[in-house]
Amino acid sequence: MKRRHKSGFTLVEIIVSIALLAIIALFMLPMSAYSIKFSKWNDIRLTAMNLAYSQTEWLKTLDYKTELGLNQTGYSPQGTVKSNLYMNKTGSDPLIIEGIEYRLLTSIYWESAESTNGDFVANATKKLDVTVIAKDPLLGTQKTYSVMGSLVAFEGERIPSSNVPLKVRVISGENFDKPAKNVKVIINNISNTLITFGLTDNEGKVYFTELINAKYNVIPDSWQGGDMMSRPTGITGTGNDQSWRFNELIEIKALDAGKDFVEQVVSVDYPGYIVIPSYPSALMDNTIITMKPKYTPPEGVMMELNMNTNLTKLISKKIWRAWEYDYTMKRSNDVYYFADANNGNLWDGKFPYMDGAITNRNLKLSFGMNTGSFKKELNGTVTLEIEFTSEITGNINDMLYTLYDGATALNITNPIITQSVPGKNNKFKINLSTNPAISGNSLKFVIDNAAEDIIKNTYGMKLVQDRNYCDLILK
């Protein structure tokens, strides 16, 4: 009779089992780490919601007339609330809870309504808006976790202002169809002294209800997104240091003007900036550029929008990126162009739209060719006169070119290139013979190796590819 022996695991089986467990654990680790981060994210979200709720409830306890407003000089509605603090507590910006930094932004606005008599009341109630921002543990970036709003009404019915209120509505976005929130709008008198200011709400509007009968300048100053500019209505500055500006003059009149309010619509956006390589200051300071938008003002509106400046100052100028631009750029007798920094083509005068960020347009300086001429000589040869918009360096004889009579490329023989003006390296004469003979009154001269580093000027600029040709007119 045979005995059965109970056998255990072999060493190989144990090693294989451990390996399998290790592999399973490796797959599970990322999921576990993600679960921990998600749990942390959820904790932050709940904490942010509680902070927003408790801040809103605290605001409701404040005295409507004297306290429920922002503690900023000139702000309307004005009060005791510090917009970046939690319940006005010192040291709560940021508010640190379990090692997480929470930042609060409290905004208070006027909200309109109708009285029981049907009258429009611009400051009928106060609108509260509390935003809580913290770091997202999943993405590692700052994120808005909670936004809470509420309306607070005064005990007793409000009556209309003695003067027509001013309503400023601010819009933004790629097509300027989105309300711009938390834009600081300043109201100055005609001497540009501050009268009051307010912030736009989530509908992009802000009311000013205490303005007396007078004229005022409406100025969008800044927004929570950082860098900002308004659609230009004119220019400011003199000489070669001009900038675009926005300024709208409005007039507040008595209620018998027949309006519930005076409305001013303002467009704001992130600006565009021109970024160019570093060139010598002698070039930057003395190269004058005039930029003109391709923009038709509304009928009956007179606007001067040709901005004149130099290259040194241009790179810090805010440019309204929604427009397309024409420009001229000169230094002494030289004419320069902007070329795309990546492909070398002539700049089209446009700025791409960047959602939620400024636009940097990377360009470089270049030069081109002017219209030239040609002359048929008595000996049967032809003399071409070509001109560059800047003096060039290098050997002009290394230039490769094609001459066209209409659509026909001519065969060229025996070309001889000389300077048109001795000592000036921007105008040249080219004497040559052609086959077939020239029949038309105009030719086209095209440089074929413009992309190479042959035709440059002393500043390293190259011939822009879209200006590597010129028309030659018969003399």
**Exposure class string for 90-118: b at 16+ Cβ within 10 A, else e:** eebbebeeeebebbbbbbbbbbbeeeeee
Section 319-348 average pLDDT:
95
Q: How far apart are CA 396 and CA 417, in angstroms?
A: 8
Are residues 231 and 342 part of one domain?
no
Q: Quick one: pLDDT at residue 473?
A: 97
Section 342-354 average pLDDT:
93
CB atoms within 10 A of CB 355: 7
Are residues 255 and 174 part of one domain?
yes
- The answer, yes or no, to whether residue 340 has pLDDT greater than 80, is yes
- The answer, yes or no, to whether residue 13 has pLDDT greater than 90, is no
Q: Quick one: pLDDT at residue 256?
A: 52
The pTM for the full model equals: 0.81
Tell me if 256 is assigned to some domain.
yes
Q: Quick one: pLDDT at residue 199?
A: 93
Angle at 302 between CA 299 and CA 303, to 5 degrees: 115
What would the pLDDT profile of 107-119 be if each residue is shown by its tens digit?
Answer: 999 998 877 777 7
Q: Supply 357's token pair.
A: 């960020």
Mean pLDDT of the chain: 88
What would the pLDDT profile of 418-446 be if each residue is shown by its tens digit?
Answer: 999 888 899 999 999 999 889 889 999 99
Are residues 148 and 36 part of one domain?
yes
Are residues 182 and 123 part of one domain?
no
DSSP conformational letter for 4: P
| Domain end point (choices 200, 234, 269) | 269
Tell me if 299 is assigned to some domain.
yes
SS3 content of the chain, % helix, strand, coil (to 5): 15, 45, 40
Are residues 51 and 87 part of one domain?
yes
The closest alpha carbon to 106, from 89, 83, 75, 85, belongs to: 83
Count Cα atoms within 13 angstroms, Cβ side, for 26: 6
Tell me if 37 is assigned to some domain.
yes
Are residues 125 and 213 part of one domain?
no
Q: How far apart are CA 259 and CA 137, in angstroms?
A: 51
Section 207-226 average pLDDT:
90
Count Cα atoms within 13 angstroms, Cβ side, for 348: 6
Strands across the sheet containing 120-135: 95-97, 100-114, 120-135, 142-153
Higher pLDDT, 153 or 27: 153
* Three-state DSSP state, 74: coil
DSSP conformational letter for 347: P
Are residues 207 and 191 part of one domain?
yes
Tell me if 60 is assigned to some domain.
yes
Section 7-24 average pLDDT:
67
- The answer, yes or no, to whether residue 450 has pLDDT greater than 70, is yes
Residue with tokens 């901005």: 307
The closest alpha carbon to 362, from 378, 374, 351, 372, belongs to: 351
- Domain with 122 in it: 32-155
CB atoms within 10 A of CB 1: 2
Are residues 306 and 360 part of one domain?
yes
**Exposure class string for 130-143: b at 16+ Cβ within 10 A, else e:** bbbbbebbeeeeeb
- The answer, yes or no, to whether residue 235 has pLDDT greater than 90, is yes
- The answer, yes or no, to whether residue 331 has pLDDT greater than 90, is yes
pLDDT band at 304 (very low <50, low <70, confident <90, very high): confident
Q: Quick one: pLDDT at residue 1?
A: 44
Looking up residue 397, the CATH number of its domain turns out to be 2.60.40
- The answer, yes or no, to whether residue 53 has pLDDT greater than 80, is yes
| Domain end point (choices 155, 186, 204) | 155
Are residues 469 and 396 part of one domain?
yes
Q: Quick one: pLDDT at residue 184?
A: 94
**C-alpha torsion angle, residues 308, 313, 314, 319 (rounded to 10):** -90
CB atoms within 10 A of CB 269: 25
Section 14-23 average pLDDT:
70
Measured CA distances, 392 to 282, 342, 367, 432 (Å): 18, 22, 10, 22
Are residues 360 and 426 part of one domain?
no
- The answer, yes or no, to whether residue 209 has pLDDT greater than 90, is no
Q: Supply 329's token pair.
A: 């750029």
pLDDT band at 289 (very low <50, low <70, confident <90, very high): very high
Are residues 265 and 250 part of one domain?
yes
What would the pLDDT profile of 396-417 be if each residue is shown by its tens digit?
Answer: 999 999 999 999 999 999 999 9
Question: How many domains are there within the chain?
Answer: 4
Q: How far apart are CA 287 and CA 403, in angstroms?
A: 33
Are residues 150 and 52 part of one domain?
yes
- Specify the amino acid at residue 431: N
The terminus-to-terminus CA distance of the chain in angstroms comes to 126
Measured CA distances, 468 to 3, 370, 404 (Å): 100, 10, 14
| Domain end point (choices 250, 269, 288) | 269
Tell me if 401 is assigned to some domain.
yes
> Would you list the DSSP string of 248-315?
EEEEE-BGGGS-S-EEEEEEEE--EEEE-----HHHHHH-EEEEEE---PPTT------EEEEHHHHT
Q: How far apart are CA 103 and CA 92, in angstroms?
A: 8
- The answer, yes or no, to whether residue 255 has pLDDT greater than 70, is no
Lowest mean pLDDT among 226-230, 260-264, 372-376: 260-264
- The answer, yes or no, to whether residue 381 has pLDDT greater than 50, is yes
Tell me if 16 is assigned to some domain.
no
Tell me if 1 is assigned to some domain.
no
Tell me if 20 is assigned to some domain.
no
- The answer, yes or no, to whether residue 38 has pLDDT greater than 70, is no
Q: Quick one: pLDDT at residue 115?
A: 74
Looking up residue 260, the CATH number of its domain turns out to be 2.60.40.10
